[in-house]
Structure 1
Amino acid sequence: MSIFNKALASIGIGSARVDTRLEETKVSPGGKINGVVHIYGGSLEQDIDEIYLSIHTTYVKEANDKKYSASAVVDSFRINSPITIKPSQTKEIPFSFMLPADVPITIGRTKIWVTTGLDIKNAVDPTDKDYLQVVPNPLMEAVLNEVENLGFRLREADCEQAPYKLRRRLPFVQEFEFVPVMGAYRGKLDELELIFAPLSAAEMQILLQVDRRARGLGGLLAEAMQMDESNVSLTVSTKDIPQLKQKLKSVIDRYC
């Protein structure tokens, strides 16, 4: 093994390469991901201390009255013990992991991707990036559908920095912003914001912010002071799906 080859590997030339292939790219929060990591040896033998997978997204963060995009690691996994890859050798390492229940769904500007990395001493660590399509699980989908059935339309969905009171495992929450376009709430509400907070695979807390439309001088003053917004939460499970519309309506009606 020449010093020249070592020097090249230290800057990524002739080093091992990695390519992750996922069996499926469409998955729901809490769903299972299967795949295989393919490692291709370079021009010299290398010791790989660790192969790791990490799930990433971005969210809107605010500092000094300015908003900017920040990245976040939703979860990470180590999938192997140290291995040695010989020159031109190919190794395949299968893996399986569960997507966290609180991973955002891919809607609007939200993107989710899996990064694979090889930890190799004295070399540039090779990486690979694969995007996921994270779709709502049955309970989330039922909630979103019933909100629309109540006359709301989704205006925006984005991941934003979590207020201190709402911060849990992750530094952000995914907000769904609805506006009333028909039915009983048109003209009564400005918007309805919704946040999912999973409690288990079959149960979640829904955080709602009901924004009432200003009526008269008192309403305008309340709106200016943000006193027209009411925050409420309710817990639902898959057993509640047949009654979801009525449960959501009864909560929203309290603040109209």
Structure 2
Amino acid sequence: MMWKKFLSSIGIGSVKIDTVIPKRHFIAGEVVDGEVIITGGQVAVPIQSVVLQIVYQFEEIRDDSDFSIHEKELNQLTIHLDKEILSGETVVLPFQLPLEQHCPVTEEKKQTFLRTTAIIPQSVDATDQDEIIIKKDE
């Protein structure tokens, strides 16, 4: 059992999260809604909260950075859970996260993601990332 707890603490056999949204294409100002599905791993794991972020990722050469890919958080929602997820247990968390009215449009080198992170104390946080497409209002 101790070995399973150790493996879980480094992310092996730990909880899995999957963010499910009914559509991928949005217009600025719309609400992204869906569910975060948390599935228990091999051992019980305490989850403090689940953080959902709308992240805009773009490519830009800057003098002050060694990296050409940059990120900007557009919106965030924290769902406080403070629950131990048991082995094999499934927890479903519905959510709604609005997009800014002036949200950047998806282009070739400019993408938007819905990033979900389960905050797990003293362990590797479980994450999921899904691309969403932001289109102009037509």
Instruction: Report if TM-score (shorter chain) is over 0.5.
Output: yes
SS of residue in 1 equivalent to 2:68: strand
Give the AA of the match of 1:93: L
SS of residue in 2 equivalent to 1:70: strand
Cα distance change on mapping 1:64 and 1:89 into 2, 3 Å: closer
Tell me whether 1:77 sits opposite 2:77 in the alignment: yes
Q: Quick check: 1:19–1:128 contact (8 Å CA) kept in 2?
A: yes
Aligned residue pair count: 137
Give the AA of the match of 1:116: T
Q: Quick check: 1:51–1:116 contact (8 Å CA) kept in 2?
A: yes
Match for residue 7 of structure 1?
6
Query: Residue 137 of structure 1: CA displacement?
Result: 1.9
Match for residue 32 of structure 1?
31
TM-score (norm 2): 0.90
RMSD, aligned α-carbons? 1.9
Query: Residue 3 of structure 1: CA displacement?
Result: 2.0
Higher RCO by CA contacts (8 Å cutoff, separation 6 or greater): 2
Query: Residue 111 of structure 1: CA displacement?
Result: 0.9
Q: Quick check: 1:33–1:97 contact (8 Å CA) kept in 2?
A: yes
SS of residue in 2 equivalent to 1:127: strand
Identity, in percent, stands at: 25
Aligned pairs for 1:83-102 within 5 A: 83-102=83-102
Whose helix fraction is larger, Structure 1's or Structure 2's?
A: 1
Partners in 1 of 2:114 and 2:86 — Cα distance? Answer: 26
Unmatched runs of 5 consecutive residues or more in structure 1: 139-256
Partners in 1 of 2:92 and 2:107 — Cα distance? Answer: 33
Cα distance change on mapping 1:43 and 1:63 into 2, 3 Å: same
Partners in 1 of 2:65 and 2:112 — Cα distance? Answer: 27
Q: Quick check: 2:19–2:37 contact (8 Å CA) kept in 1?
A: yes
Partners in 1 of 2:66 and 2:48 — Cα distance? Answer: 40
Partners in 2 of 1:34 and 1:45 — Cα distance? Answer: 28
SS of residue in 1 equivalent to 2:5: helix
Partners in 2 of 1:80 and 1:27 — Cα distance? Answer: 26
Query: Residue 31 of structure 1: CA displacement?
Result: 0.4
Q: Quick check: 1:61–1:70 contact (8 Å CA) kept in 2?
A: no
Query: Residue 67 of structure 1: CA displacement?
Result: 8.0
Partners in 1 of 2:44 and 2:114 — Cα distance? Answer: 27
SS of residue in 2 equivalent to 1:122: coil
Q: Quick check: 2:75–2:97 contact (8 Å CA) kept in 1?
A: no
Query: Residue 58 of structure 1: CA displacement?
Result: 2.1
Partners in 1 of 2:67 and 2:42 — Cα distance? Answer: 45
Query: Residue 81 of structure 1: CA displacement?
Result: 2.9
Cα distance change on mapping 1:13 and 1:65 into 2, 3 Å: closer
Match for residue 22 of structure 2?
23
Unmatched runs of 5 consecutive residues or more in structure 2: none
Q: Quick check: 2:75–2:98 contact (8 Å CA) kept in 1?
A: no
Partners in 2 of 1:116 and 1:3 — Cα distance? Answer: 28
Per-residue CA deviations over 1:128-169 (Å, capped at 9, x if unaligned) read: 01111101124xxxxxxxxxxxxxxxxxxxxxxxxxxxxxxx
SS of residue in 2 equivalent to 1:4: helix
Q: Quick check: 2:16–2:39 contact (8 Å CA) kept in 1?
A: yes
